[in-house]
């Protein structure tokens, strides 16, 4: 008997089963007043606009009063607006999958929504009953000790063979840094403590390539730590081992890398063996809350936004507890504009529903206050959000090429490809619109 092919990634596509997506009877009954909603969107677009064709065939320019993105959007069904106004970005994505709206390039639309986030207000946020349902389901997926491993597997155990066809050869799944970071004098105050260390392996890292930009990002982070050969470095959220390899090979430190993904650990173990670094690097399937021992330094790249707001204190306490007195931590984090945080945190958005269950973008104001309470002082923040937009665009281009050329591993269907492309476009637009940012910062233990 022939076996049916496994549909890899189907759990992401179907992740909205418990969420409200704005398509039910209540939404249809209470989601009228379409032209009034169009007027509200028009009034809320202070920068840029939307070239819109409505379901009745009429054409309208929304906004357009000041320069900014001008995406072309076709509304095929009024139900798309029902989903938007009741379930926010979750409903808007669902409407896209059902063909209720379309655009040849959605990135400028996501950019537009982000840069006008305050003036649009709650228009594109889940509200009422739908908000409470989605927030409740998101809460059930929080990163408790028992749930965290499952949430990590949800995303990262799609398979090393999946990520390997569209990430850079170094397998780094976080924002690259394409330009050298400005130098600054001293290691205190608001100046920058980053040095663009030249690559010791120019044959592997072509200048200007994604791989070179990822290596620059890693070295910029490690340079914050003033590492010396023989010191111990803890990496919280080590991914596939790119930072651990560079730290052990080029800085001569002993590295303990933490992950909850069995796929990532298997890959990283093979990587360290191939590089001859098993004597310097230990990859452990360990929750950050279970770290034992002390280290000279801690590194963590785009890990904190995965833990969830309720666990920010535990994350920072783990860093403080792992550091020796006077030690430093260097983290790379993704934050949301402070004025948007409360509305964002009140529900679950597209990313939290389909891509990173249990996650929460950082409010830097709140996060920094918790760090101070934990005995960690905040130094030398450097933001580079547009570099993330560029990284995401490159990833999408590489992903599209892999799909077109048949290089993606078997089992992923068109619904998954559509979800993954939407995810990459959604994030790119967010960074381009300035609603979210990526930054490196140093935390020093007092």
Residues constituting the chain: 446
Q: What share of the chain has pLDDT > 90, as a percent?
A: 63
For the residues 291-306, what does the mean pLDDT come to? 95
The answer as to whether 206 is a domain residue is yes
Query: Domain total for the chain?
Result: 2
Final residue before a domain boundary, out of 83, 109, 139: 139
Which residues have C-beta within 8 Å of that of residue 321, sequence separation ≥ 6?
Answer: 291
Residue with the bigger pLDDT between 251 and 35: it is 251
- Same domain? For 148 and 258 the reply is yes
**How is residue 272 written in tokens?**
């360290």
Place of tokens 């098993």: 278
pLDDT in tens, 156-194: 578 899 999 999 999 999 999 999 887 643 333 333 322
Given a cut of 90, is residue 404 above it in pLDDT? yes
Give 365's Cβ-side CA count (13 Å radius): 7
- Same domain? For 395 and 439 the reply is yes
pLDDT in tens, 100-116: 999 999 999 999 999 99
- Same domain? For 219 and 310 the reply is yes
- Same domain? For 125 and 240 the reply is no
The answer as to whether 207 is a domain residue is yes
Final residue before a domain boundary, out of 105, 139, 173: 139
Final residue before a domain boundary, out of 92, 123, 139: 139
- Same domain? For 236 and 380 the reply is yes
- Same domain? For 154 and 84 the reply is no
- Same domain? For 83 and 198 the reply is no
pLDDT band at 293 (very low <50, low <70, confident <90, very high): very high
- Same domain? For 109 and 196 the reply is no
The answer as to whether 42 is a domain residue is yes
- Same domain? For 106 and 154 the reply is no
Residue with the bigger pLDDT between 361 and 147: it is 361
The pLDDT value recorded for residue 352 is 84
- Same domain? For 416 and 279 the reply is yes
Report the CATH number at residue 222: 3.40.50.150
What Cα–Cα distance (Å) separates residue 346 from each residue in 291, 342, 350? Answer: 31, 6, 13
pLDDT in tens, 357-391: 778 899 999 999 999 999 999 999 999 999 999 99
E strand or H helix that includes residue 414: helix 414-432
For the residues 233-258, what does the mean pLDDT come to? 97
Residue with the bigger pLDDT between 366 and 207: it is 366
E strand or H helix that includes residue 273: helix 262-274
The answer as to whether 386 is a domain residue is yes
Residue with the bigger pLDDT between 416 and 232: it is 232
- Same domain? For 250 and 199 the reply is yes
Mean pLDDT is lowest, of 2-16, 44-58, 201-215, 404-418, for 2-16
The answer as to whether 4 is a domain residue is no
pLDDT band at 140 (very low <50, low <70, confident <90, very high): very low
pLDDT band at 135 (very low <50, low <70, confident <90, very high): very low
Given a cut of 50, is residue 195 above it in pLDDT? no
Given a cut of 70, is residue 202 above it in pLDDT? no
CA angle 268, 382, 311 (to 5 degrees): 60
**Residue 134: which domain range?**
10-139
- Same domain? For 232 and 97 the reply is no
The answer as to whether 1 is a domain residue is no
For residues 62 and 52, is the Cβ–Cβ distance under 8 A?
yes
């Amino acid at each position: 008997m022939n076996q049916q092919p496994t549909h890899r990634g189907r759990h992401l596509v179907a992740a909205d089963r418990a969420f409200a997506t704005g398509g039910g009877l209540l939404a249809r009954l209470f989601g009228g007043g379409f032209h009034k909603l169009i007027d509200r969107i028009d009034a809320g677009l202070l920068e840029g606009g939307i070239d819109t064709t409505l379901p009745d065939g009429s054409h309208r320019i929304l906004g357009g009063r000041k320069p900014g993105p001008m995406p072309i959007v076709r509304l095929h069904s009024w139900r798309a607006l029902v989903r938007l106004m009741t379930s926010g970005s979750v409903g808007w994505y669902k409407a896209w999958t059902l063909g209720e709206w379309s655009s040849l390039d959605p990135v400028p639309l996501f950019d537009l929504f982000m840069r006008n986030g305050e003036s649009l207000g709650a228009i594109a946020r889940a509200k009422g009953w739908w908000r409470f349902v989605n927030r409740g389901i998101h809460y059930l997926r929080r990163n408790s000790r028992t749930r965290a491993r499952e949430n990590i597997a949800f995303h990262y155990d799609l398979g090393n063979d999946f990520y390997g066809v569209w990430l850079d050869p170094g397998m780094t799944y976080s924002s690259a840094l394409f330009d050298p970071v400005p130098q600054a004098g001293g290691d205190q105050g608001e100046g920058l403590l980053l040095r663009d260390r030249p690559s010791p392996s120019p044959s592997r890292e072509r200048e200007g390539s994604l791989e070179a930009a990822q290596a620059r990002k890693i070295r910029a982070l490690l340079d914050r730590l003033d590492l010396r050969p023989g010191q111990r470095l803890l990496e919280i959220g080590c991914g596939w081992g790119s930072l651990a390899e560079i730290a052990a090979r080029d800085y001569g430190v002993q590295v303990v890398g933490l992950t909850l993904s069995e796929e990532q650990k298997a890959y990283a173990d093979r990587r360290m063996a191939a590089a001859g670094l098993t004597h310097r690097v230990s990859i452990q399937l360990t929750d950050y809350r279970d770290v034992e021992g002390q280290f000279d330094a801690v590194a963590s790249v785009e890990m904190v936004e995965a833990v969830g707001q309720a666990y920010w204190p535990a994350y920072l306490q783990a860093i403080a507890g792992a550091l020796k007195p006077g030690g430093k931590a260097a983290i790379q984090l993704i934050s949301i504009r402070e004025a948007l945080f409360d509305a964002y945190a009140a529900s679950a958005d597209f990313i939290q529903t389909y891509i990173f269950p249990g996650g929460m973008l950082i409010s830097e104001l709140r996060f920094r206050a918790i760090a101070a309470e934990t005995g960690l002082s905040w130094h030398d923040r450097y933001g580079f959000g547009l570099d993330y937009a560029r990284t995401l665009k490159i990833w999408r281009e590489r992903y599209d090429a892999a799909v077109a050329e048949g290089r993606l591993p078997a089992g992923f269907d068109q619904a998954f490809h559509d979800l993954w492309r939407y995810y990459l476009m959604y994030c790119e637009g967010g960074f381009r619109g300035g609603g979210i940012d990526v930054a490196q910062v140093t935390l020093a233990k007092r």
